[in-house]
Amino acid sequence: MTGFRLGYVPGVTPAKWVRLWAERLPRVPLELIQVTAADAPDLVRRGEADAVLLRLPIDRTGLHAIPLYVEQTVVVVPKDHVITAAEEITVDDLADELMLHAQDDVLDWERPPGRLIEERPARTGDAIELVAMGTGLLVVPQSLARLHHRKDLTYRPLTGVPESQVALSWPEAETSELVEHLIGIVRGRTVNSTRGPAPKAPRTPKKAAPKKAAPKKAAPGKKAASNPRQQKPRRRR
């Protein structure tokens, strides 16, 4: 059987699902492909991956997408910044702050907090570098803040802004049996779940018919008992 190619965006950790895949489909190799958030939808449209773990919202043209979980939104700041004194930050707390906005940002902003800096770095990693330089602050999903952790930076939960949603996406034209298996894994279904393709039951070998017992042989020196009906009558003298 051919392998399965699974794309994933930075910050998403598919390790648990990969382990379950290996347990349930040991003969089907799973290839992981890391992809940027901007290129994730086109990865499956071009046929370079069978499915992809990405963040919503996306252009769903030609794609299926099932939400899996929601990520906390945080603001990344230098460790000596004044707002680190609070355990949780609101949008109003950032009203006078200079804010970075990376080009690969997937948060569905209606009105980003603070004053946006005209310079827009291409990727989140580049924006993190600018935060460390004191250029501005950055709002990202918590998994990205952890991925780009630095000793001189920290982050705080941010309320009043959109949360990011991680989803599994695959081509709309085809939902293969392997995709169905992956859907079952990421949704936490058990092997014996009635939803999705059921595992094939192993063939039970047929039991051999019991052999008929062979007639017992007479012990040496003893004559076999004769049938009384077959005995000839003795002649009278």
Q: List the pLDDT tens digit at each of the 237 positions of the chain.
A: 579 999 999 999 999 999 999 999 999 999 999 999 989 999 999 999 999 999 999 999 999 999 999 999 999 999 999 999 999 999 999 999 999 988 888 788 878 899 999 878 888 999 999 999 999 999 999 999 999 999 999 999 999 888 899 999 999 988 899 999 999 999 998 876 644 444 444 454 555 555 655 555 555 555 545 555 555 555 554
Three-state DSSP state, 135? coil
Within a 13 Å sphere around the CA of 114, how many CA atoms are in the beta-carbon half? Answer: 19
Q: Where are the domains of the chain?
A: 4-68+165-186, 73-162
Domain pair 4-68+165-186 / 73-162, same fold:
yes
Q: How far apart are CA 196 and CA 20, in angstroms?
A: 16
> Is the CATH code 3.30.465.10 the one for domain 4-68+165-186?
no
CATH code: domain 73-162 is 3.40.190.10
Strands in 59-107 per DSSP E: 63-71, 73-78, 98-100
pLDDT score recorded for residue 6: 98
CB of 176 closer than 8 Å to CB of 50: yes
pLDDT score recorded for residue 234: 55
pLDDT score recorded for residue 194: 43
Closest alpha carbon to 97 in 117, 111, 79: 117
- pTM over the 0.85 mark: no
E strand or H helix that includes residue 43? helix 40-45
Q: Is 80 exposed, middle or buried (0-12, 13-18, 19+ CB in 10 A)?
A: exposed
pLDDT score recorded for residue 102: 86
Give how far the C-alpha of residue 197 lies from the chain's centroid of Cα atoms, to the nearest Å: 17
Q: How far apart are CA 134 and CA 131, in angstroms?
A: 5
pLDDT score recorded for residue 105: 82
